[in-house]
Structure 1
Amino acid sequence: MPGFLKEFFNRNGTLMGSIMLGLVLFWVVGLIILPQLSMLDFSFRPNLPPPEIGGPKDVYTLENYKYLIYGPEGGSQDYNAVDLKVFFRTLVAAVCVTVFNLLFCYPIAYYLGQSKGNHIRIFALMLIIPYWINEILRAFALRIIFGESGVLNTILVGSGIFDTPFDFIRNDIALYAGLGYAYILLMIFPMYNVIESLDGNQIEAARDLGAPWWRIHWRVVIPYAKPGISSGCTMVFMLSAGALAAPQILGGPSSLWFTQLIYQQFNDNSDWPQGAAYAIVLLVTCILLVLAVMRLFKVNMGDIGK
């Protein structure tokens, strides 16, 4: 038995450890691995009516993946410009949301991690309370705020900053703000959890040596907080790329998200194999991008798991 399992069973007992391990295995295998394998199998199947499923025409094919690149046979273009544009725009937007959240949340996480006193608990509770509300309701609330007759436009027009209401919805500002707000806690708390354990004497020593504030963060705090930063960026990027509620509610007519294409394939077109292929492409691409960035910044899975 591996050493970490022995330690786990010694700490929790054989019975309780077995129950906990069984629940985790059920969650991982039954609710993650098996559904993904089923989705992968679907992605290589043709879209057939129910009576023909399992028949001679039900063979493995790459047509669903080719459709993303080349589009329908006999189309007017050599490649599927619409879907590819939506795919890459979704990835770029997810990166932008991740970078924005990192820049916005890092000072908050640093303040929470290095400050002492009961007011920190109150501040953390104020961050958490809005997330007691359902994500869809929060998205509709943001749509009311960013709408042409919403609270923000009322303030901007009333104060004379804008002559006419600005369309935050059609310009995707509401969408980016909604995605950033939806996952802000997933960026703050992993960084806070690491920065809280940073010895303040290291920061004081850097100050005594004459290091400016930006060098202290760049050479002391950020390298120490790398596990939290890696974990937060990974979760925010993956969830932003796979978001559906926020793009549906806050996105404008020109801000189609790739997950919306997947939803259309499953529900509107009843083309489950095509939707499964699109979902697998998005999942694999996001995983590869995360692994490439981890390698670029010399971060390993152990850092993220801390």
Structure 2
Amino acid sequence: MTTLLRRYGWPLTAVIVLLCAWWVVVMVVLPQLVMVDYSFRPNLLPREIGTEKDVWTLANYKTLWSNQIHLAIFFKTIWASCLVTFVTFVVCYPIAYYMAQVARGPKAGLFAVLLVIPYWVNEILRTFAWYILLSRGGPINEALMGLGLIAEPIDLKQGDLGVILGMVYAYILFMVFPLYTAMESLDRNQIEAARDLGASIPRIHWRVVIPHSKPGIATGCIMTFMLAAGSYAVPALLGSPGSRWFTEIIYNWFFEGGDWPQGSAYAFILLLLCLGFILLMLKLFKVRLGDIAK
């Protein structure tokens, strides 16, 4: 606040603060409060709203624990989102390190542009591209048959493989840029000193690069996990009937079942899961929320 006052003065600072407050309250806080209120109410007919039946209840939350299919999908979504986060980190770590400590200058900028260009295309179209790649008549099957690795086309979208691949690709930028930002501030002399002292490459990364990059790793993991757990388009397009995502169940409650209170309860449970994951990352990497915000 002091920096804003010093840079812009009272009038413009007040406008900026009011606009930010309006955005947070109207676009974030109020919708969440309405969702929480809905989640504790029964699904009533319009004429029953406001009557003695319209009271708060935990029945919507109990539904998840009594429905074994939905509960299994919920836990599957958790571990699959964790897997997406881990695979995305493994893929993005060397890319971010190359951009931050090896490429430098114009090469790093060119590499960043090459990463960003595919994301100028709408996410739905990019997901459809993966649908074509993974289909029985797609390029991947054609290549595998051409190499003699398979005798006939296989459906690569069976199970969660297609969903996980699609999500890793869809959210790669949300991991690579926080890692890049954290690694770029690392003094290269520390890496050179560790190498001169006889540290191997894995040990340099484990003892020097990763500890320095903890805020970036935490930020990337939080963003990737939350996007994966809350994704609807990728599972809907790339998932098979046996690989449903929890967001698809929420969608069905809202728009197919017409049960908004039940859908709100499921959505609030998913929100609590994401908040829990944030706290876990903060504790695991021993960083503060302020470090994440940077």
Fold-level match, TM-score > 0.5?
Answer: yes
**Aligned residue pairs: how many?**
293
Counterpart-to-counterpart distance in 2, 1:216 and 1:11? 41
Contact in 2 for aligned 1:230/1:303 (Cα 8 Å): no
Structure 2: gaps spanning 5 or more residues: none
Contact in 2 for aligned 1:146/1:153 (Cα 8 Å): yes
Counterpart-to-counterpart distance in 2, 1:285 and 1:146? 31
Partner residue, 1:295: 283
Counterpart-to-counterpart distance in 2, 1:120 and 1:290? 30
Give the TM-score normalised by the residue count of structure 2.
Answer: 0.97
Q: What one-letter code is carried by the residue in structure 1 that aligns with 2:42?
A: P
Relative to structure 2, which stretch is displaced further, 39-48 or 159-168?
A: 159-168
Asked if 1:9 corresponds to 2:22, the answer is no
The percent identity for this pair of structures is 51
Q: What one-letter code is carried by the residue in structure 2 that aligns with 1:32?
A: V
Asked if 1:149 corresponds to 2:148, the answer is no
| Among candidates 230, 243, 268, match of residue 280 of structure 1 | 268
Give me the CA root mean square deviation. Answer: 1.1
Contact in 2 for aligned 1:86/1:256 (Cα 8 Å): yes
Counterpart-to-counterpart distance in 2, 1:23 and 1:152? 49
Cα deviation code 1:157-198 (max 9, x no counterpart): 122111111211013221101011111000000110111111
Cα deviation code 1:191-249 (max 9, x no counterpart): 10111111111111111111111111111111111111110000000110000000000
Partner residue, 2:35: 39
Give the TM-score normalised by the residue count of structure 1.
Answer: 0.93
Q: Residue 287 of structure 2 aligns to a residue in which SS?
A: coil
Relative to structure 2, which stretch is displaced further, 162-171 or 88-97?
A: 162-171
Structure 1: gaps spanning 5 or more residues: 71-79
Q: Residue 13 of structure 1 aligns to a residue in which SS?
A: helix
Q: What one-letter code is carried by the residue in structure 2 that aligns with 1:45?
A: R
Q: How does 1:52-91 map to 2 (within 5 A)?
A: 52-70=48-66, 80-91=67-78
Contact in 2 for aligned 1:98/1:236 (Cα 8 Å): yes
Cα deviation code 1:261-293 (max 9, x no counterpart): 000000000000000000001110221133124
Using the TM superposition, give the Cα deviation of residue 299 of structure 1 relative to its aligned residue in structure 2, in angstroms: 2.4
Partner residue, 2:80: 93
Partner residue, 2:190: 202
Q: Residue 61 of structure 2 aligns to a residue in which SS?
A: helix
